[in-house]
């Protein structure tokens, strides 16, 4: 696609590294095509996008706790005990409070976001979030919804309820989960709909906090784990990206004192790294296994003293480059991690603790691309057997390698960029400038 004038594409991810880095991958492809991608970012993410060479516009702090860099880390620390619960029991203890915090963020951001969009005058806005920001609908240009969580985020009768970790055929489980979910989120949902009404937007159905974009919706979901929907999504507005993996610098595998065996990468994300107790239990098991382990411990590196000689800890890894070289990826089921594993043909051992990690863990087992292991209720023998079993499963490895090769032939970042830029020609000239 030839571009006569570099269109400005404003990407607005939620305040999480999963959404942020997913959008980096899309922005890289947009930049390669001659567009001008810029980022709108929450407090605490200053510099994240600039490190990849993109201009940042920062939402001004509103003077509330949710504008501080440590807000979500503090939130997760308070809820660590709830991550040992089943998905249905997390509804009241974690899911509903999380929706409260997310709605607070949307309300606080409305005025400064509107001001930023008027200043940027984008040709397209890309929203990677789980909640709607009304200022985006009022920006006078097309907007794109990115579903970077599991496909379950878009409801369908043949798809399990979002955040449930259920099988699609579990009708009794569906009824029980949906009843508790709707009851627990009723108050915050009413508050959000009242806020939408104040800004001129229509109310959303019970339990939903973000509508489909009338222009374009992008799902990360690869075909190998895609659900067969009862009501297929409109192919004109809903595109499956086959994952969406950013480019990172090559990773040099460090020398281990015990430098033999397959390479296993372990990361539970920046927030999951706060659970030092869990990771220390895992290190004790790793010490006795014939493999090498790279473990992302975020900002908690100093919490670990005795580290096995087949383990390398670090605060951050260029994850796509590491996953590409790994024989197994142990993670929490975040959609970026799940898609990156599939993209590079790497088996997943998923130990979910919240949100759509439960859904991806279930789907990994259903589709034979990995295994699920309960985050809290495992023995050293359970973890050892799961790791060694996946490392030795040649049939799974061959199937994943073939799938990864197919995904890399049609990279999701390129498909996303092309779809986004196709909207530019539909923007009225008075908006394009």
Q: pLDDT digit string (tens) for 252-293?
A: 999 999 878 999 999 998 778 888 999 999 999 999 999 999
pLDDT tops 60 at residue 432? no
| pLDDT band at 108; cut points 50, 70, 90 | very high
pLDDT tops 80 at residue 428? no
Q: Say how far apart CA 73 and CA 17 lie, in whole Å.
A: 12
What's this model's pTM, rounded to 2 decimal places? 0.91
Q: Say how far apart CA 307 and CA 379 lie, in whole Å.
A: 20
What average pLDDT score do residues 171-190 get? 98
Pair of tokens at residue 118:
């008027």
DSSP state of 94: I
- pLDDT tens for 333-346 read 999 999 999 999 99
pLDDT score at 5: 77
Proportion of the chain above pLDDT 90, given as a percent: 81
Q: Say how far apart CA 77 and CA 320 lie, in whole Å.
A: 27
Alpha helices in 80-232 (DSSP H): 90, 96-120, 134-137, 171-198
Closest CA to 23 of 321, 329, 417: 417
What average pLDDT score do residues 355-361 get? 96
pLDDT score at 45: 86
Set out the domains of the chain in order of their start, with CATH numbers.
8-244+411-432 (3.40.50.2000), 263-409 (3.40.50.2000)
pLDDT score at 66: 42
- pLDDT tens for 36-49 read 999 999 878 889 99
- pLDDT tens for 52-101 read 999 999 997 654 434 444 665 677 677 777 888 999 999 999 999 999 99
**pLDDT averaged over every residue in the chain:** 92
pLDDT score at 68: 45
pLDDT score at 1: 47
Least confident stretch, 28-32, 316-320, 390-394: 316-320
pLDDT score at 155: 96
418 SS3 class:
helix
Q: Say how far apart CA 21 and CA 247 lie, in whole Å.
A: 10
pLDDT score at 268: 93
């Amino acid at each position: 696609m030839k571009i006569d004038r570099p269109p400005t594409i404003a990407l607005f991810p939620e305040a999480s590294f999963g959404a942020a880095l997913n959008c980096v991958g899309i922005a890289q492809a947009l930049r390669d095509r001659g567009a001008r991608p810029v980022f709108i970012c929450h407090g605490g993410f200053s510099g994240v996008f600039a490190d990849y060479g993109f201009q940042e516009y920062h939402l001004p702090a509103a003077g509330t706790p949710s504008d501080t860099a440590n807000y979500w880390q503090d939130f997760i620390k308070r809820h660590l005990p709830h991550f040992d619960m089943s998905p249905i029991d997390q509804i009241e203890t974690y899911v509903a409070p999380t929706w409260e915090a997310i709605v607070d963020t949307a309300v606080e951001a409305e005025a400064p976001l509107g001001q930023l969009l008027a200043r940027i005058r984008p040709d397209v806005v890309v929203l990677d979030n789980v909640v709607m920001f009304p200022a985006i609908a009022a920006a006078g240009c097309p907007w794109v919804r990115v579903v970077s969580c599991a496909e379950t985020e878009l409801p369908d009768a043949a798809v399990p309820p979002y955040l449930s970790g259920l099988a699609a055929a579990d009708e009794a489980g569906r009824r029980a989960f949906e009843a508790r979910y709707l009851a627990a989120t009723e108050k915050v949902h009413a508050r959000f709909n009242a806020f939408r009404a104040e800004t001129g937007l229509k109310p959303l159905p019970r339990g939903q906090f973000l509508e489909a974009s009338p222009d374009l919706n992008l799902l990360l979901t690869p075909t190998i784990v895609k659900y067969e929907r009862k009501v297929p999504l409109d192919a004109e507005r809903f595109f499956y990206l086959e994952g969406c993996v950013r480019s990172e610098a090559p990773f040099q595998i460090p020398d281990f004192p015990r430098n033999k065996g397959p390479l296993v990468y372990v990361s539970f994300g920046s927030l999951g790294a706060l659970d030092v107790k869990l990771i220390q239990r895992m290190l004790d098991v790793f010490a006795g296994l014939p493999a090498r382990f790279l473990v992302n411990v975020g900002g908690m590196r100093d919490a670990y003293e005795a580290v096995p000689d087949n383990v390398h800890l670090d605060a951050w890894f260029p994850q796509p480059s590491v996953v590409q070289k790994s024989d197994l990826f142990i993670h929490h089921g975040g959609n970026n991690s799940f898609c990156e594993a599939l993209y590079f043909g790497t088996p997943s051992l998923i130990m979910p603790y919240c949100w759509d990690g439960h859904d991806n863990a279930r789907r990994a087992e259903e589709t034979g691309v990995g295994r699920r292991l309960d985050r809290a209720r495992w023995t050293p023998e359970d973890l050892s057997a799961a790791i060694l079993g996946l490392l030795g499963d040649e049939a799974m490895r061959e199937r994943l390698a073939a799938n990864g090769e197919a995904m890399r032939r049609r990279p999701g970042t390129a498909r996303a960029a092309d779809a986004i830029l196709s909207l530019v020609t539909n923007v009225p000239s008075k908006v394009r400038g």
